[in-house]
């Protein structure tokens, strides 16, 4: 599946992370945000939206380049740098649904890092149940007027362009009355709440977004009116694949660092890896990690071929995310007291990986999707 040019790209991105990201992660975690210049640098070096056609600022690369970026960020302990969200979750909405004017207006700046993207779905009382969205948009002449609040929005502080899911149909219209509207940073009536303090992803800005008679041009409607829910459903599969990619790469990195630690750390005069109980723990983790990799690689290939992968994506998002968290628990345990210290990378991995079974659809929602597609519910 991967060719020589993919491996060259992977090595180049690893060097970029070693030079521009990894040395600064501790400071960014303390500050609660990744500096905007990092986005510009990533854009200048071709690491944002590489899949975009050249006419929109990309290089026309295949999906594997996006997978490589997500994997290497995860392995470096830098999942707080939410480039995959920007490039592979939000930008595809603009490319697939945007008018030619919208695409030419926004996409080149997304590729260059001049525009940072976010998508706003979750509300204080609406998580995975997107059909219950209450943020409202009313047409007023040549503008849309938005009122409501979003929460837990990744890239919420830095975002220059937010795709907002809002209700444009009657209050009881459910999934059939939702539209997507693009809100730019300087839109009147658009404000941001605080940068939320989280258990993990400390360097990633997560914010509340407030729309108080927020006016945006009518042409900022993205896709079809009242078809926003279905647009979201069409694109959630790739979002969930990227979540699984992150979880799998983190599991692989945690296993590798723990094997290295367990071989070198001694107790009672011998390496802790040589105790049968610990060795069997590591074997169990290694088996699950390898199973996850085999499943994920096949899923990525099927996705690139345009196959219907909804069932397998939901399985992968649920199982790989939970597997990565099982791995994190056992790896911290094998590190002992040092695993609880921030100076050891396993500590950051442990708290960062915890959110993956929650965002992009919880494990429970993924299981509901699979159960329905198996005809069980």
Active-site residue set: 239
φ/ψ of 18, rounded to 5, equals -60, -30
- How many CA atoms, within 13 angstroms, populate the side-chain half-sphere of residue 225? 9
What letter would DSSP give residue 62?
A: -
What letter would DSSP give residue 362?
A: -
295 in Cβ contact with 239 (< 8 Å): no
CA 362-360-37 angle, 5° bins = 140
Alpha-carbon distance values, 308 to 21, 130, 296, 317 (Å):
36, 22, 15, 15
Contacts of 198 (CB under 8 A, 6+ apart): 204, 206, 355
**How many Å apart are CA 265 and CA 107, to the nearest integer?**
50
Tokens, residue 110 = 């997304």
């Amino acid at each position: 599946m991967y060719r020589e040019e993919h491996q060259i790209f992977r090595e180049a991105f690893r060097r970029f992370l070693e030079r521009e990201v990894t040395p600064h992660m501790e400071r960014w975690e303390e500050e609660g945000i990744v500096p905007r210049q990092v986005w510009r640098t990533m854009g200048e070096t071709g690491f944002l939206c590489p899949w975009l056609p050249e006419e929109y600022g990309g290089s026309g690369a295949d999906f594997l380049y996006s997978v490589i970026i997500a994997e290497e960020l995860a392995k470096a302990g830098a999942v707080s740098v939410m480039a995959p969200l920007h490039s592979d979750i939000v930008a595809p909405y603009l490319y697939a649904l945007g008018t030619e004017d919208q695409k030419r207006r926004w996409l080149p700046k997304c590729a260059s890092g001049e525009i940072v993207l976010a998508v706003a779905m979750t509300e204080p009382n609406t998580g995975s149940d997107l059909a219950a969205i209450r943020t409202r948009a009313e047409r007023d002449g040549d503008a849309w007027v938005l009122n409501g609040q979003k929460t837990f929005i990744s890239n919420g502080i830095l975002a220059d362009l937010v795709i907002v899911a809002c209700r444009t149909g009657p209050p009881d219209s459910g999934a059939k009355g939702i539209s997507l509207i693009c809100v730019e940073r300087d839109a009147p009536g658009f404000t941001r709440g605080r940068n939320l303090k989280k258990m993990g992803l400390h360097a990633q800005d997560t914010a509340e977004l407030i729309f108080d008679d927020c006016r945006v041009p009518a042409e900022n409607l993205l896709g079809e009116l009242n078809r926003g829910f279905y647009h979201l459903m069409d694109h959630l599969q790739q979002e969930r694949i990227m979540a699984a990619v992150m979880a799998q790469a983190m599991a692989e990195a945690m296993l590798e660092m723990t094997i290295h630690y367990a071989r070198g750390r001694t107790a009672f005069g011998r390496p802790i890896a040589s105790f049968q109980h610990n060795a069997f723990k590591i074997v169990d983790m290694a088996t699950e990690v390898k199973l996850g990799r085999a499943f994920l690689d096949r899923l990525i290939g099927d996705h690139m071929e345009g196959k219907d992968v909804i069932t397998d994506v939901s399985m992968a998002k649920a199982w790989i995310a939970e597997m990565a968290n099982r791995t994190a628990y056992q790896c911290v345990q094998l590190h002992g007291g040092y695993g609880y210290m921030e100076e050891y990378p396993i500590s950051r991995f442990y708290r960062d990986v915890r959110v993956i079974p929650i965002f992009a659809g919880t494990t429970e929602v993924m299981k509901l999707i699979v159960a329905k597609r198996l005809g069980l519910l």
